[in-house]
Structure 1
Amino acid sequence: MAKSSSPGAIERGFLACGRELQEGREVVVRSPWDQSVVGTVREASHGAVMEAVGSLERSLAATRKLSAHERKRILLAVAEKIAAQKEELARLIVAEAGKPLKAARVEVERAVLTYTTAAEEAVRMTGEVLPLDLLKGNEGRWGMVRRFPAGPVFAITPFNFPLNLVAHKLAPAVAVGCPVLLKPAPQTPLSALRLGDFLLEAGWPAEALAVMLLSNEDAEFLLEQEERLKVLSFTGSAKVGWKLKQKAAKKRVLLELGGNAAMVVHGDWGDVEGVAKKAVLAGTSYAGQSCISVQRVYVERAVFDDFVAQAVKQAGRLVLGDPANEETDVGPVIRESDAERIESWVDEARAGGVTVLAGGSREGCVVEPTLLTGTRRGMKVLDEEVFAPVLAIEPYDDFNAVLDEVNHSPYGLQAGLFTRDVGRIFRAYETLDVGGLIVGDTPTWRIDPMPYGGVKDSGLGREGVRYAMDEMTEPKLLVMAV
């Protein structure tokens, strides 16, 4: 494989409450494309972690007193810094995550929106006044409810959106005045460190932020025994997320986990070519490494053959290869072990009688966009989260039955629906066990201010800036008898 153009190798310590510490186990960050060294960071020692937790706890007295105006100013300053370094940040994402450049640029734009939205919400989070003179003898009583920062947040982020998913932890926490200990993915820590730099440069108190790689043992210790951290906000796999929740004891827990996103295409929509193109792009963008990547596509039988033909045509147009190239659509998955797993799942499906309509092979970490049909329950490519550019396309005859088929999944994050019938739309809205139903687009569509999260194995609580702010605060009641 040709070497991609990327930033020179970066050597960074972790941010620990205003200091950049250099001790700890060395972690080498490598490009998923060509395995070149992107940077070197350090895993924090247990002592450094505990020192940081103490600093975060002490800083709460100051962060909770920051005015809404000051929090807004800090967040807008971070948004401006991200926008000013858009291309540099995009190429850093390409280098450490293997995300195609055009997708990395979109991620940077989304991070700007995330911080800008948080700045606006910081001054919009209001309380309410309650009449309490509802029974005789309570005349003159009234109540006021305000939200206060719950305390230091322990945030854990994945590799697939190393800038914007970090922003979805840091920005809401700053907006409500919560100190943060952020554990980024070890594959992609450099983007997180840059966001930490931006926050400190913007004026967020240094003692109120730590961006650290932690050992799994230290992470579990913090969840099980460290009561000074009040909130766990985790984005990652369902297996890990639910395990962490069991260990989180008395903490508030926000989980944004995996998915197995389905979309339903009814024949009344028309524009089969356009919908097929959307489905393939939504299932293969960033090599399918998103929890809302399209994985299952159910198409009404009357238009199924046409849809399949158009989907195969679209898959054949995609450009594979070096993520730093402007034209690349599908780059590598994050690790070769993941590519091997994906290949084995496809081979297993093929051996089980599934027809491979397109793709089905890999070269190194690059998995071909793969379209399958003839899948059935019990196959990993249909039941599990494949996290790859692999789509199962199946026909259906009955709309109610296909809704049941969509629900036959342990996951319930988002679903997509293409129909022009309002009755079907509301039937799907009421029936589908998902956190969000997207009509007229794929389940992969997301805008950052919206509530985002799922049910069943897909998580607990909601992200999306304002909704994460609610998760990181506690309502407090004041009753007045005058």
Structure 2
Amino acid sequence: MTTTHEFWLAGRRASGESDFEVRHSFDGSLVGKVSVPTDAQVEEAVAAAAAAAPVFAATPAHVRAAALDHVSKRLAERTEEIARLITAENGKPIKWARGEVGRAVSVFRWAAEEARRTNGETMRLDTDPGGTGRFAVVRRFPKGVVLGIAPFNFPLNLVAHKVAPAIAVGAPIILKPAPATPISALVLGEILAETDLPAGSWSVLPVPNEKMPALVQDDRLPVISFTGSDKVGYQIMDSVPRKHVTLELGGNAAAVVLADWNSEADLDWAATRIAMFSNYQGGQSCISVQRVIADAAVYDALVERIVAKVQDQVTGDPSDDSVDVGPLVDENAAKRVESWVDDAVAKGAKVLTGGVREGAAYAPTVVADLSDDAILATAEVFGPVLSLHKVNSTDEAFAAVNDSAFGLQAGVFTHDVQAAFRAHRELQVGGVIIGDAPSYRADQMPYGGVKDSGVGREGVKYAMEDFTYERVLVLTGLDL
């Protein structure tokens, strides 16, 4: 009998009047059915969150921290179960799904730690005569209820990056998971329901995308945290100019290999990391390697190694521990990637390996001689496709990185500390990774982009700051 997953309305289980199916992108098997909240139930959840806001904001830090610690512990205990679910929903190879659960475990643990040590600051004001006897205490308070809108590519960890910081600061959250991958978030709801968080402080609502504009516009939800496409993200921001909107959007991340990265070991390392991280989630990561920009001095030797390493990527059933690259989230996504590669080839590009689609799977692909007017040259492919570009200097390499509408992260393979600091100064991105692919993310560090890659930052501490504002208390008549 097929399981129909209930959703979480103000912290309790609930069912709607309809449901939808979630299917495995590898074999089409039914993963489960998910109940859809009615309009009345969505209203109930929002009203409960708004009512809970002052109560939750006043909740002692130890209560919030204990809840976050509990979630971290229970995710760790249920790692294999949840990883298998992520693979079934998303098509992500099981080894990467286990890693995703491990990252979510850490996100909730860090949130618990930050909840305990967020103390604000104090300052004496008698530095000028008018401030004699005055002392200030600065603390942060929630801006209000958070509407968290999560994507399909990390159905647990990117949910964690919205839920954990909100709980840590005492901000109620309405979470809307991606339609393709809602069950992981609903399982997280099971764990949240085991805690002592106030009623109304959280809901997990698998609301259809077409019903989201009303939620986005709701004045009781003053904070929106969205991860997804730049088109949808900026539509949301433009529609609610007076709300606080955090956008974690797309990229077309570049891996730069400079001339000094030229030993056999160097080139093997770069090729290994580039091949892995252009394909590791089927390329469905905002910081997957999409462009390799290599100095002419190392280009030929590097390309040979990259092609070989990409061909070594094991494809197939994502539930198999040996598989590196599974299917994309659905067949339409694979067809889109196929059409973009076909467009590139029609405009003169050469496919050095890959370029073949089978159902929802697209073979790991390397493309050279990409023309500037190809879609692949400027847009985010969000698939296992890598393009190669030869340059003749560091100047040219860094200019190529910046010649993009996106600016999320970049990787720079170099031993030159001056080049590293120059990259940090000049590259128009949110993060620069030296000696590795751009796909590295530590979940506690500030993560986000510039230009069309979004606004605001994730990373637990930084998201907590995004969800709160400073409020100053001035004490007077004191003998300091």
Q: Which TM bucket (shorter chain)?
A: over 0.9
Given the alignment of the two structures, is residue 122 of structure 1 paired with residue 142 of structure 2, yes or no? no
1:131 Cα offset (Å):
2.1
Alignment partner, residue 55 of structure 2: 62
Match of 2:135, SS state, is strand
Say if 1:200 and 1:206, in contact at 8 Å, map to a contact too: no
Partner of 2:342: 347
Where 1:285 maps in the other structure, the secondary structure is coil
Name the amino acid aligned to 2:280. Answer: S
Q: CA deviation at 1:454?
A: 0.2
Quick one: which of 100, 112, 127 aligns to 1:107? Answer: 100
Q: Label 1:217 to 1:359 Cα distance change in 2 as closer, same or farther (>3 A).
A: closer
Work out which of the residue numbers 310, 313, 317 in structure 2 matches 1:315.
310
Q: Given the alignment of the two structures, is residue 10 of structure 1 paired with residue 3 of structure 2, yes or no?
A: yes
| Superposed CA offset, 1:79-111 (max 9, x none) | 110000110010000111110000000001001
Residue pair 2:63, 2:197 contacting (<8 A) in 1 also: no
* Separation in 2, partners of 1:216, 1:339: 21
Any idea what SS the aligned residue of 1:178 has? coil
1:36 aligned residue (29, 32, 47): 29
2:243 is matched with 251
Aligned to 1:416: 411
Q: How many angstroms apart in 2 are the aligned matches of 1:180 and 1:466?
A: 17
Q: CA deviation at 1:318?
A: 1.2
Question: What is the distance in 2 between the residues matched to 1:17 and 1:421?
Answer: 53
Q: Distance in 1 between matches of 2:198 and 2:25?
A: 35
1:436 to 411, 420, 431: 431
1:417-452: CA deviation from partner (whole Å, max 9, x where unpaired): 011112211211111110000001110001100000
Partner SS for 2:256: strand
Partner SS, residue 194 of structure 2: helix
Alignment of 1:441-456 (within 5 A): 441-456=436-451
> Residue 215 of structure 1: CA displacement?
3.1
- Partner Cα distance (1:250, 1:352) in 2: 44
The alpha-carbon deviation at position 42 of structure 1 amounts to: 2.0
- In the alignment of these two chains, the number of paired residues is 474
Q: Secondary structure of the residue that 1:253 maps to in structure 2?
A: strand
Shift, 1:206, TM fit: 3.3
Letter in 1 for 2:277: A
Q: Shift of residue 9 of structure 1?
A: 4.4
Deviation at 1:135, TM superposition (A): 2.8
Does residue 229 of structure 2 align to residue 237 of structure 1? yes
**Closer, same or farther: CA 249–24 of 1 in aligned 2, 3 Å:** farther
Residue in structure 2 matched with residue 3 of structure 1 by the alignment: none
Give, in whole Å, the separation in 2 of the partners of 1:283 and 1:437. Answer: 17
Alignment partner of 1:20 out of 13, 20, 36: 13
Q: Which residue of 2 aligns with 1:477?
A: 472
List aligned pairs for 1:128-139, cutoff 5 A: 128-139=121-132
1: distance between equivalents of 2:309 and 2:241? 48
| 1:188 shift after superposition | 0.5
Q: CA deviation at 1:119?
A: 0.6
Residue of 214, 219, 229 corresponding to 2:212: 219
1:101-180 superposed matches below 5 A:
101-180=94-173
Aligned residue identity for 1:84 = E
Q: Distance in 2 between matches of 1:425 and 1:460?
A: 24
Determine the structure 1 residue equivalent to 2:189: 196
Out of 366, 370, 373, the position equivalent to 1:371 is: 366
Amino acid at match of 1:254: T
Structure-2 separation of matches of 1:255 and 1:88 = 30
Instruction: Provide, for residues 450-470 of structure 1, a one-character-per-residue CA deviation record: whole Å limited to 9, x for no partner.
Output: 000000000000000000000
Root-mean-square deviation (CA), in Å? Answer: 1.2
Of residues 259, 277, 287, the one that matches 1:267 is 259
Deviation at 1:401, TM superposition (A): 1.4
Letter of the 1:207 counterpart: G
The CA deviation string for residues 303-362 of structure 1, in whole angstroms up to 9 with x for no partner, is 111111111111111111111011111110011111111111111111111111111111
Residue of structure 2 aligned with 1:206, choices 199, 209, 214: 199
User: Partner residue of 1:5?
Assistant: none
Is the Cα contact below 8 Å between 2:4 and 2:35 reproduced in 1?
no
For 1:157 and 1:337, the matched residues in 2 are separated by 20
d(CA) in 1 for partners of 2:239, 2:17: 25
Amino acid at match of 2:283: G
Give the aligned partner of residue 389 of structure 2: 394
The separation in 2 between residues aligned to 1:118 and 1:18, in whole angstroms, is 20
What is the rounded CA distance, in whole Å, between the counterparts of 1:283 and 1:87 in structure 2?
25
Aligned equivalent of 2:332, options 327, 337, 348: 337
- Out of 231-240 and 126-135, give the one that drifted further: 126-135
SS at match of 1:175: helix
Cα 1:24/1:409, change in 2 over 3 Å: farther
Greater mean deviation of Cα atoms: 313-322 or 84-93: 313-322
**Contact residue 131 and residue 142 of structure 1 kept, 8 A:** yes
Greater mean alpha carbon deviation, residues 127-136 or residues 94-103? 127-136
Unaligned runs of 5+ in 1: 1-7
Separation in 1, partners of 2:202, 2:189: 8
Q: What's the counterpart of residue 290 of structure 1?
A: 285
Kept after mapping to 2: 8 A contact 1:232/1:248? no
Question: Which segment drifts farther, 248-257 or 334-343?
Answer: 248-257
Following superposition, the deviation at residue 217 of structure 1 comes to 4.3
> How big is each residue's C-alpha offset from its partner over 1:189-225, in whole Å with a ceiling of 9 and x where there is no partner?
000011111112022223211100123343211222x
Identity %: 47
